Amino acid sequence: MVNWEYKVVPVKTRIHSKHLEGGKKPVIEDVQNDLNCLGKEGWELVSVQDVNLPDGRRFTVAYLKRQKGNE
């Protein structure tokens, strides 16, 4: 039987407002690098969730898993 361990991390992003003008898509930096680093540690991205707090703050959470013993 395979045993899994899980990791829940906030996704840290910076969106450049200048790219939001004129219909351009926003640029999100560092997310790919962070996920690649976690992948090298054996973590697999399972899901993401956008969270809206009552005070208006918003953030994204990433859920990852890896087989136990892959440290």
Instruction: Note the pLDDT tens digit of each residue in 40-55.
Output: 999 999 999 988 889 9
Question: What's the chain's Rg over C-alpha atoms?
Answer: 15
Q: What is the pLDDT of residue 4?
A: 96
- Domain with 58, as residue range(s), is 4-67
Contact at 8 Å (CB) between 63 and 6?
Answer: yes
Neighbours of 24 (CB within 10 A): 10
Q: What is the pLDDT of residue 12?
A: 74
Q: What is the pTM of this model?
A: 0.72
More confident call, 8 vs 57? 8
Instruction: Please say whether the dihedral angle defined by the alpha carbons of residues 19, 16, 51 and 70, taken in this order, is positive or negative.
Output: positive
Name the band, by pLDDT with cuts 50, 70 and 90, for residue 66.
Answer: very high
Neighbours of 13 (CB within 10 A): 14
Q: What is the pLDDT of residue 15?
A: 61
